[in-house]
Amino acid sequence: MSRRHQNFRNYRQEQRLTQRRIMAAAVFVLLLVIVLMARLFYLQVLEHELYQTKANDNRVMLVTEPPPRGLIYDRNGVVLADNRPIHSLTVIPERVENFPKLKKMLSGIIDISDSEWEDFDDRLKEYRRPYQSLTLKSQLTDEEWAKISVDLYKLDGVQVEAQLTRYYPYGEAFAHAIGYVGRITSKDLERVDKLAYQGALFIGKTGLEGYYERTLFGEAGLSKVEVNARGRIMSELERQNPTPGKDLHLYLDARLQQYAYDLLGDYTGSVVAIDPTTGGILALVSKPGFDPNLFVRGISVKDYAALRKSKKLPLFNRALRGGYPPASTIKPFMGLAGLEYGFSSWTERYFAKGYYQINPDGRRYRDWKRTGHGWINLERSIIESVDTYYYQLANKMGITPIHSFLSRFGFGQSNLLDLDGESSGLLPSNEWKKAKYKEPWYPGDSVNVGIGQGFMVATPVQIASATSALASKGHYYYPRMAKTIGEKPAEFPNGQGGEHDIILKDQRNWDRMIDAMRKVVTDSHGTARRLQGTEYDIAGKTGTGQVFSLQEDEEYDSDKLEKRLHDHALFIGFAPAKNPKISVFAIFENGGSSSKPADLTKALFDAYLYDNYPARYDYLKGKKND
């Protein structure tokens, strides 16, 4: 008997059983629906804020827009550092599906060097916001730009971006004063606000570009944008425009700078011109310079090696870091020191032989004039640059008063207000020698310092600013580059515009010393008498710095020496002597005779005081004249 034909089935009972089960299922359904609603309640009510934040983090992205960099002008409004639009080939790595394929396609269109690819790969590994473009090749030529534009639609993730880049129109003569910007490295980013520099290509590396980086950079614009899952910007939610960087107006005179650079000729050297009434630097020349635009573009390894290896050290900023013996240019300051401490007077006479000895049998410190100068006084010691006078004076004084007096003129310290990297030179002292050589200070050390040799080392900027202080009769201005920043006069952190007064016990000594320096030119025996014949008075002092020490009785014979061992030729001067508007320090390295820097200085005075530049400098004239 099969079950199919059972007659005793209770259909009603079976119906009730299945109906009960359907009821049970219904209850189950309701329970599970409650679970779902509880889950939705948890996500949408309890955790709502968390997920709202997550959703906003997804879609809202902060985009920074680099501000246009402030320009740098000379005193007459000549643009020394400009912004120029360039087109760069950039890549958004997230949009590139196949790099090797892209590489192949791109190389069929324009030339991209291996080093550009290497550079790109390196930067790809650095910290970067997703979907931020990376520059592959900057400064496309118009031809390259046109070629790539045609095929752009085929190249996923590749775009051509217009950017502003720095351009230095007058190149190498200004490189050491203005400095340059270069591509931002990850090292640079460690010392700046990463957010502000997002999207920025360049950062000031040296010179004014480096010192005034924050001022010139401005404030990055910030916009909140809505992006989709693939990083495409859908809309802008909020926007804060970038604040352009502030312009710098310098004391620098572009024509004077270029003229001085050219006047140095084939010599290496430096010229620093300062306005004694303000401390503003009118010219800051270090020769040779280099083309700063190379660094903006990203200098090639070959070019950089050439600059590094050049014997003329073009990357070395002589004006700020060159350590030279001030030589005889120190004499006016030394003379004032003697007067100040009562070791010399204007009337006291001294018999100048061809040499000086501390002890009767001791070493002979030779004068530049073998026959000696005969009976002289302080004034004549300046006019004829009598070495023996200063040997004896320094020996009498000892190093301590010399040190304290010359410190007031800024020797032995860095003084530039708005450029970094200045060397402090060396103004020796007892303590210094003990610390450095574990030896006491010998009288002979003082004798050498008396004529600005020996241990003493100074930079062109130091000597120029000391000269400027002398010209303004003791008003020492810390040298400075910027006249105005933006619309406001430049202010400097160290106090009242960075200046102090040097008060002498007898203030009349300023005039006497300036007069003596005037006679360096006007006197028939003056060492700079070749500068005679100007309509205005020049006060000056020559100097020849020994590069290499002669033996006691050896003669200096320039013909026998290699040029690199020739003496450095120095000159300090200011004009007009009564009411100076410009003071200059010039040095021709291994220039031999001080006639070269003296002639250069006179040429600068003529040009600057009478606006009498050779016509070839008209392009640097600018709009306004003061």
Partner 1 sequence: MTDSLYRRVVSFTNARLWQLVHIDVLLIGSLLLLICGGLFILYSASGQNVAMVERQVFRLVIGLLLCLTLAQLPPKYMRRASPALFAFITVLLIGVLLFGVGAKGAQRWLALPGGLRFQPSEIMKIVMPMMIAWYFSDRQLPPNFKQILAVLGLIVLPVLLIAKQPDLGTSLLVAVSGIFVLFLAGLGWRYILSAAALAPIAGYTLWQFMHDYQRQRVLTFLNPESDPLGSGWNIIQSKTAIGSGGVYGKGFLEGTQAQLDFLPESHTDFIIAVLAEEFGMLGCGILIFAYLLVISRGLYIAAHAEDNYARLLAGSLTLTFFVYMFVNIGMVSGILPVVGVPLPLVSYGGTSIITIMATFGILMSIQTHKRAR
What is 230-278 written as a DSSP string?
A: T--EEEEEEEEPPBPPPPEEES--HHHHHHHHHHTTTS-EEEEEEETTT
Task: Tell me whether residue 43 or residue 152 sits nearer to partner 1 (CB atom).
Answer: 43
Minimum gap (Å) between residue 102 Cβ and partner 1: 22
Contact 234, 227 (CB under 8 A): yes
CB atoms within 10 A of CB 502: 20
* Selected binder of partner 1 within 98, 149, 228, 243 (CB under 8 A): 228
Interface residue with partner 1 among 47, 118, 236, 420 (CB under 8 A) is 47
Among residues 1, 7, 9, 359, the one that binds partner 1 under rule CB under 8 A: 9
Spatial contact of 383 and 519, defined as CB atoms under 8 Å apart: yes
Q: Given the complex with partner 1, which of 229 and 503 has the nearer CB atom?
A: 229
Stretch touching partner 1 by CB under 8 A, among 20-28, 338-346, 384-392, 500-508: 20-28
Interaction between residue 128 and partner 1 (CB under 8 A): no
Amino acid at 88: S
Pick from 92, 134, 225, 227: which binds partner 1 (CB under 8 A)? 227
User: What gap in Å lies between CA 261 and CA 74, rounded to an integer?
Assistant: 16
CA dist., res. 480 & res. 281, Å (int): 6
Rounded least distance, CB 623 to partner 1, Å: 52
Minimum gap (Å) between residue 321 Cβ and partner 1: 52
Q: Which stretch binds partner 1 (CB under 8 A): 23-31, 63-71, 300-308, 310-318?
A: 23-31
List 37, 62, 306, 565, residue binding partner 1 (CB under 8 A): 37
Quick one: which segment of 39-47, 66-74, 97-105, 589-597 binds partner 1 (CB under 8 A)? 39-47
For residue 429, indicate whether it is catalytic: no
CB-nearer residue toward partner 1: 29 or 195: 29
Residue whose CB is less far from partner 1, 152 or 237: 237
Contact 510, 470 (CB under 8 A): yes
Task: Identify the DSSP state of 560.
Answer: T
Q: Which two tokens stand for residue 204?
A: 């000031």
β-partners of residue 350 are 376
Distance of alpha carbon 260 from alpha carbon 258, whole angstroms? 5
Per-residue burial over 461-498, b = 16 or more CB atoms within 10 Å of its CB, e = otherwise: bbbbbbbbbbbbbbbbbbbbbbbebeeeebeeeeeeeb
Residues between 51 and 80 that touch partner 1 (CB under 8 A): 51-52, 54-56, 58-59
Task: Pick from 12, 26, 463, 539 the residue near partner 1 by CB under 8 A.
Answer: 26
Q: Could you say which of 17, 146, 237, 565 contacts partner 1 (CB under 8 A)?
A: 17
List beta partners, residue 351: 375
How far CA 540 is from CA of 196, 261, 621, in Å, comes to 50, 20, 28
14 belongs to the binding site for partner 1 (CB under 8 A): yes
Cα dist. 452→176, 290, 487, 537, 570 in Å?
Answer: 26, 31, 42, 25, 12
The span from the CA of 419 to the CA of 208, in Å, is 6
User: How many Å apart are CA 410 and CA 417, to the nearest integer?
Assistant: 12
Site stretch for partner 1 (CB under 8 A), options 40-48, 248-256, 263-271, 488-496: 40-48
| Among 182, 198, 232, CA closest to 128 | 198
Q: Which of 23, 195, 237, 565 binds partner 1 (CB under 8 A)?
A: 23
SS3 569: strand
Q: What one-character DSSP code corresponds to residue 205? A: -
Pick 50 or 306: Cβ nearer partner 1: 50
Closest approach of partner 1 to the CB of residue 490, in Å: 49
Least distance in Å: CB of 132 to partner 1?
17
Interface with partner 1 (CB under 8 A), residue total 42
Q: Which is nearer to partner 1, 23 or 305 (CB)?
A: 23
Shortest CA distance to 375 belongs to which of 355, 352, 357, 342? Answer: 352
Asked if residue 32 binds partner 1 (CB under 8 A), the reply is yes
Residues 229-258 that bind partner 1 (CB under 8 A): 229-230, 234
In the complex with partner 1, the residue whose CB is nearer, 58 or 612, is 58
600/585 Cα distance (integer angstroms): 10
Nearest distance, CB of residue 16 and partner 1, angstroms: 10
Residue 1 interacts with partner 1 (CB under 8 A)? no
Q: How far is the CB of 58 from partner 1 (least distance, A)?
A: 5
Residue 77's alpha-carbon distances to 109, 164, 198, 248, in angstroms, are 42, 21, 31, 10
Amino acid code (one letter) for 572: I
Using CB under 8 A as the binding rule, whether residue 532 contacts partner 1 is answered as no
Which residue's CB is nearer to partner 1, number 22 or number 306?
22
Cβ proximity of 86 and 140 under 8 Å: yes
Q: Shortest gap between Cβ of 25 and partner 1 (angstroms)?
A: 6
133, 138, 286, 328: which one is catalytic?
328
Candidates 25-33, 167-175, 187-195, 264-272 — which segment interacts with partner 1 by CB under 8 A?
25-33
Q: Stretches 2-10, 204-212, 255-263, 315-323: which one binds partner 1 (CB under 8 A)?
A: 2-10
CA distance linking residue 173 with residue 619, whole number of Å: 14
CB of 161 to partner 1, least distance (A): 24
Residues 146-165 binding partner 1 (CB under 8 A) are none
Q: How far is the CB of 157 from partner 1 (least distance, A)?
A: 18
**Min dist. Cβ of residue 28 to partner 1 (A):** 8
Q: How far is residue 500's CA from residue 409's CA, in Å, rounded to a whole number?
A: 10
Helix (H) or strand (E) holding 588: strand 582-588
- Within 91-110, the residues that bind partner 1 by CB under 8 A are none
Q: Which residues are catalytic?
A: 328
Q: Which residues bind partner 1 (CB under 8 A)?
A: 3-4, 6, 9, 14-15, 17-19, 21-23, 25-26, 29, 32-33, 35-37, 39-41, 43-45, 47-48, 50-52, 54-56, 58-59, 226-230, 234
